[in-house]
Structure 1
């Protein structure tokens, strides 16, 4: 079931559990019964105003508006990432190691677009959807109770050009430095002099969940998936300990990020 189908099912349920037909429900929310039918059958997409009208009439506290916003992000995301986005939204803490790019939750719009453009496999519409999804995912860092984010980057991330556009990297590193100042965000950099280390085999994320379990996310050229097996999580935990050990402390990492930003002026 897609995110849109989930939303439509919940909208129908909000009506049928109250014993209302579409005309009656339409009068309740100040829409025509025809409009209600079109939304419920999927021939007309629910709008923000429509969701807000239901929230007001049913006094839901805005749940349908929020559901529309979040599920729209899921539908814009590539199918293989949707499960992990749901994990991110529930996590109490995220540990993210990235040897190649700035982590998605810390990317600027221009940097995200440059990455997707470099692949050369997306249409303009697909690229716009992916960029919007990626940026809207970042809302979890600004919510009332945001997850703690610890990100470890390889120093090469700070030196790699984005489509030969120095302004993109200058903006991105300034954004990264600002994020590093947030109380719930820590960013560490593995310096170049570290040389080869196990983390270079690929990036990954570890999410601490409310039930004290840990889920992992791995992404490479062949597959991208959420993992929960004890052996897989243990492997990622060991690798995390290594990359954190090799990374610079928080203040030195921030200084290195700011220094690298100056090289892109």
Structure 2
């Protein structure tokens, strides 16, 4: 769902920039590969804001990415209320610790892997899938900041190996992406091998973020959404469980070798 105030701001900015460029809707439409009536529908709010359309508009109007940046803001504002505190904590984190027993963590997912994961919810329309995908990909931009957070992720070997023949090409791409990520000095990925049959982390995924003030907050996911955890006692429990989960995982070098072995076995 779009955040209406921000969406109206985008539409107003689009119209203002088009008029300043002395372009009619028809002229502008030809430049962005849309009809004049489609441009009119976007400006009037009769057509949903489209990332590709706004990207082309930014290029044609030479806005330095203004419109797509505003769309990202609208998408963040349109997130469920339970998710917004975590998005802010993640955005300003100095350090992130992620564990997921069944998936590659969102900050390390490729676009194709993320789309497949989101699309698994058959209650979502194609448009909603793409909106959620755009937000997830946008969240990853924190890793490209001048001073990115230190990200430590722990995943299960079974996550890497869970793929039927039709999914293997996607997983090869995903594992290759993980190997590229760990070449960054601020990212490390540790794998818990399948011969570790049980540990405390299997109770569910969680992420921890340390802010600029040194304090930690946590995030828990579930089938209906999630929750940001800022209670000191509960955060302390999650920090202890992180240490337990991390101790079960292989060191970085061995984890990297294992990821390469899995990828090679499928190539």
Same fold (TM over 0.5): yes
Distance 1:68 1:132, change over 3 A: same
Measured on the aligned residues, the alpha-carbon RMSD in Å equals 3.6
Residue 139 of structure 2 corresponds to which residue in structure 1? 137
- Summarize the alignment of residues 174-189 of structure 1 with structure 2, pairs less than 5 Å apart: 174-189=176-191
Matched residue pairs, number?
243
The Cα offsets for residues 84-103 of structure 1, whole Å up to 9 and x where unpaired, read as 22221111110001111001
The answer to whether structure 1 residue 74 and structure 2 residue 52 are counterparts is: no
* 1:132-166 CA-partner distances (Å, limit 9, x unpaired): 21112111111111111000111111111278321
CA distance in 1, matches of 2:6, 2:207: 27
Which residue of 86, 89, 92 corresponds with 1:90? 92
Native 8 Å contact 1:118 1:163 kept in 2: no
CA distance in 2, matches of 1:50, 1:170: 35
- Counterpart in 2 of 1:5? 5
Q: Is the 8 A contact 1:91 1:147 kept in 2?
A: yes
Output the CA distance in 1 between the equivalents of 2:260 and 2:90: 28
Looking at structure 2, the residues matched to 208 and 237 of structure 1 have their Cα atoms a distance apart, in angstroms, of 11
The within-5 A match list for 1:110-125 is 110-125=112-127
Pick closer, same or farther for the CA change 1:65–1:212 going to 2, 3 Å.
farther
Q: Which residue of 2 aligns with 1:190?
A: 192
Confirm or deny: 8 A CA contact 1:73 1:136 kept in the other structure.
Answer: no
3-state DSSP of counterpart to 1:91: coil
Unaligned runs of 5+ in 1: 13-25, 33-38, 57-61
Q: CA deviation at 1:5?
A: 2.5
Change (3 A) 1:83 1:3: farther
Q: Post-superposition shift, 1:184?
A: 0.5
TM-score by length of 1: 0.76
Quote the offset at 1:6 in angstroms. 5.6
User: What is the TM-score with the length of structure 2 in the denominator?
Assistant: 0.76
Equivalence for 2:156: 154
Whole-angstrom CA distance in 1 between matches of 2:247 and 2:173: 28
Q: Which residue of 1 aligns with 2:261?
A: 259
Provide closer, same or farther for how the CA distance between residues 162 and 125 of structure 1 changes in structure 2, counting only shifts above 3 A: farther
Name the counterpart of 1:207. 209
Compared CA separation, residues 129 and 78, structure 1 to 2 (3 A): farther
The 5 Å alignment of 1:5-84 reads 5=5, 30=20, 68=70, 70-75=72-77, 77=79, 80-84=82-86
Partner of 1:192, secondary structure, is coil
Say if 1:4 and 1:139 are closer, same or farther in 2 by CA, change over 3 A: farther
Question: Aligned partners of 1:166, 1:119: CA distance in 2, in Å?
Answer: 20
Q: Structure 1 stretch 137-146 or stretch 113-122: which is displaced more?
A: 113-122
Q: Structure 1 CA distance, aligned partners of 2:185 and 2:95? A: 13
TM-superposed CA distance for 1:119, in Å, is 2.3
The match for 2:223 among 218, 221, 224 is 221
Question: What secondary structure does 1:211 align onto?
Answer: coil
